[in-house]
A and B are shown apart, each in its own frame.
Chain A
Amino acid sequence: MPLTYPYAEDTHPALDSPGYKSTGLRAPTQRPIILPQRFTEITGPLLVGEIGPNDHDLTRQHEGEPQGQRITVSGRVLDSDGRPVPDTLVEVWQANAAGRYAHARDTWPAPLDPNFSGGGRVVTNSLGEYSFTTIKPGAYPWGNHPNAWRPAHIHFSLFGHAFTQRLVTQMYFPDDPLFAYDPIYNSAPEGARERMVSRFDMDTTQPNWALAYRWDIVLRGRNQTVFEEPHDD
């Protein structure tokens, strides 16, 4: 079989991260078993589903405009070999400008925004580029520990082109003072965390309209050989 997607150490959070309380009863405790990559793993869904006309613009999904700072978020989806990942679905969801999710289970008393649902989706172009328009989400408190606050973030879901490349992550904003206090951000290894932080990009701002952030996402790349040739020595 021609391909394998090597697993990268020192990139992903440990499932058992005690600072994030919900891992306590949910992170598996047994050592995972290595699954060699065969046909089911090196293939994967190439679906993009139906993309609605305003799925890429979270500020235009209702009668009026949502409250908040209008921004564009754009970047490239690449694999670790530097190849762009074209024609792949990117799904996003986020809180509103006040830090409240339009979700029945989010009950903290910040205002809901009738003009903001907070979900979007785009498909990368032939160069692996994506772009969407939204408002900058707010920070919000959560029950993990006393006075816990999540830094502002946008959730991202990506498929890549193989089952092994599936990734769900969060994009953060530069220089957030809450980074130091957030066990989810800090669950990623030191040295890897900052890869989740977008950068402000004056060049792609839309004059008199929207500020801009850039964020490239890197999925696992592939090796060309699964089975080592036997060595004579």
Chain B
Amino acid sequence: MTDRLELTPSQTVGPYLSLGLTWPEGADVVPPGTPGTIRISGVLHDGAGTPVPDGMIETWQADPAGRFAHPDDPRGAAEPSVPGFLGFGRCNTDPEGRWEIRTVRPGPLPAENGAVEAPHLDVSVFARGLLDRVVTRIYLADDPANDADPVLNSVPAERRDTLVAQKDGEGVYRLDIHLQGPHETVFFTV
């Protein structure tokens, strides 16, 4: 641990992030029309319950086979099992604080000691007033693997539902993110 370079501090994205970070097709993790596409949407709220109209949500996930096209995956990089799958989604919040990404269900992932991580998306939330991103996860309510997920089980039971998107129609999931307040979302240190 000698001679480590000192890290660059984080700063807020500020109110004008859309000038630099808008990706017109960022919300499409898979090409439009991909079979099995699911929509995950919600509203980003501040501590007063007011929608946050100048935020941004990013998601990162495995493909439906539970693999990543990434060399640091110890199992090796894998070509996506769904053509055009990017794994990454980005959506600015709209004037009503709403965000949505269109993707496919991630697969479960092996974890230590034979445990299995339930299908999930890692999420970064950025906004004016956040001096660093905050990190959370999205799980899907109808997945039987949730009960044994080591991360969900590390969260106090009464707060777990802040990480679980509820089914709101066929292929449609909904999860609001609360930066503060009585329903404050569980955020993680990674």
Instruction: Classify the interface of chain B: helix, strand, loop or mixed.
Output: loop
Contacts A40-B120, A45-B60 hold; do A1 and B74 have CB atoms under 8 A apart? yes
In the complex, chain B residues whose CB is within 8 Å of the CB of A24: 47, 129
Interface residues of A in 62-113 (CB under 8 A from B): 78-82, 91-93, 101-103, 105-106
Contact of B17 (CB < 8 Å), options: A14, A93, A192: A93
A27/B179 in contact, CB under 8 A: yes
Contact of A45 (CB < 8 Å), options: B13, B73, B86, B137: B86
In the complex, chain B residues whose CB is within 8 Å of the CB of A34: 154, 188-189
In the complex, chain B residues whose CB is within 8 Å of the CB of A36: 150
Interface residues of A in 118-159 (CB under 8 A from B): 118-121, 155, 157
Contacts A192-B6, A196-B8, A220-B7 hold; do A105 and B19 have CB atoms under 8 A apart? no
Contact of B135 (CB < 8 Å), options: A35, A47, A193, A196: A35
Query: Which interface class (under 10, 10 to 19, 20 to 34, 35 or more) fits A?
Result: 35 or more
**Chain A residues near B (Cβ < 8 Å):** 1-3, 5, 7-8, 11-15, 17, 20, 22-30, 32-47, 49, 78-82, 91-93, 101-103, 105-106, 117-121, 155, 157, 161-164, 166-170, 184-185, 187-189, 192-193, 195-196, 217-221, 227
6 contacts between A and B (CB under 8 A): A29-B184, A32-B134, A43-B73, A93-B17, A169-B11, A188-B9
